[in-house]
Amino acid sequence: MAGKHLSQIVAADAAGIALAAARLRAGGIVAVPTETVYGLAARADSADAVAAIYRAKGRPDFNPLIVHVLDLAAAEGLAIFDARALALAATFWPGPLTLVLPRRADAALAAAVSAGLPTIALRCPAHPVMRTLLAETALPLAAPSANRSGGVSPTRAEHVAKSLGDAAPLILDGGVCSAGLESTIVVLRVDGWQVLRPGPIAEAGIAAVLGSAADVTTSGRIEAPGQLASHYAPGKPLRLGAQSAAGDEFLIGFGSVAGDYNLSPNGDVTEAAAHLYAALHAAAAAPHARIAVAAIPGGEIGDAINDRLRRAAT
C-alpha cells in the first residue's frame, strides 16, 4: 500500500512527549506506549478526535474504547465509583486493570467513546510516558490498541508502524511493553462483578478484594461489546497445543517445546505474556504458511494468554 511507512517514530523523551501532548490537545491521534500494549490515543472529550481513532483502526463503531486517566480524582469526574470500585482502584491503580462503571451524566466525554453505552471503561495506567502525557494534557485519553481492528496488538513501536502505517502519523517509542497483554476488564454490576476480559491482573486477585464472583447473575445480558470471537488474528491458520511443527508451520514454543520463537524457555507464563504478540508478529512475517503454538499452562496470566490464542486461532 502506498505510504504505508510514512508514520514518524520519535523517542519518548521530553521533546517527543511535548510534541505528542501538543498533537493530542489539538485533537490529533498519537500512538503511545503503555505497560500493556501500545495504544492509539486521542482526547476522549472530542467527538472528532475519537472518530479519528475508529477511522485509523477500521474499528466498528459498536466496540467501545477504554479511557485512560491520570488518577482516581480524574476517574471520579467521569464515572460513579461505589465502595467496590474504590477498593479495586486503591489496590490495582495505577496498573493494568480497567473498570466498567456507570458513566456520569455530566462527564465531559464524547458519546462515541463508549459506543453510546451508559457505562464507561476506565483505566489508570502505570507507564511513565503515558502518565506524563495524561499530566501534560490534563485530558482523559481514549486509547485502544494501536493496530488495525482485529489484528495482532503491538508491543513495540515497529509493530504499530507496520500495522497502521501512515494512519498513525506519530508514534512515541517507549521501548517494549512490559506486561504485553491488554488490561484485565472488570464490570461492576449491582448484583455482582465479572471479568469481561482476562489480563495481567488475575481474577483471583480481584476476588481477593471483592469476594467471590459466584453471586453474579450470569443472565443473558452479559454484554461485552467488541469481545469478538475472532481477534488478534495473525493472518494465517493457527494451531494450539502443539508438541512439534509440521513442515510448513512456524512453531511458537514454550518451556521444553523449543520452537522457532520460544515464549519462555524457563516456562515462565509472565515472561510468555510479554513475548506473545512479538512472537505472533514474527510468525506472521515468516515464510511459513501456518502457525503452531505450544500449550501454555492456565491459571494467573496463563488464562489471559490462552484467551488471546483462542481468538487468534478463530
User: What is the binding site for ligand AMP (CB under 6 A)?
Assistant: 63-66, 100, 114, 117, 119-121, 144-145, 182, 185, 187, 196, 224-227
**In the structure grid, which three cell numbers stand for residue 302, read together?**
496463563
Q: Which of 36, 145, 184, 306 binds Mg ion (CB under 5 A)?
A: 145
For residue 238, the partner it binds in Mg ion, ligand AMP, none, with Cβ less than 5 to 8 A by kind, is none
For residue 114, the partner it binds in Mg ion, ligand AMP, none, with Cβ less than 5 to 8 A by kind, is ligand AMP
**In the structure grid, which three cell numbers stand for residue 54, read together?**
475508529
**How far from the centroid of its chain's Cα atoms is residue 226's Cα?**
12
Q: Which is nearer to ligand AMP, 154 or 255 (CB)?
A: 154
Q: Is 98 in the site for Mg ion (CB under 5 A)?
A: no
Q: How far is the CB of 101 from ligand AMP (least distance, A)?
A: 8
Distance in angstroms (rounded) separating the CA atoms of residues 120 and 217:
20
Q: Which is nearer to ligand AMP, 141 or 269 (CB)?
A: 141
CA distances from 234 to 55, 134, 201, 304 (A): 21, 31, 25, 17
Q: Which residue is nearest to Mg ion (CB)?
A: 145
Q: How far is the CB of 242 from ligand AMP (least distance, A)?
A: 27
Give the DSSP per-residue string, 14-63: HHHHHHHHHHHHTT--EEE--SSS-EEEEETT-HHHHHHHHHHHT--TTS
Question: Looking at 103-224, which runs of residues are DSSP E strands?
Answer: 119-123, 141-142, 170-173, 184-189, 192-197
Q: How far is the CB of 164 from ligand AMP (least distance, A)?
A: 14
Q: Which residue is nearest to ligand AMP (CB)?
A: 226
Q: Which is nearer to ligand AMP, 182 or 249 (CB)?
A: 182
- Residue 286 exposure: Cα atoms within 13 Å on the Cβ side: 20
Contact residues toward Mg ion (CB under 5 A) are: 145
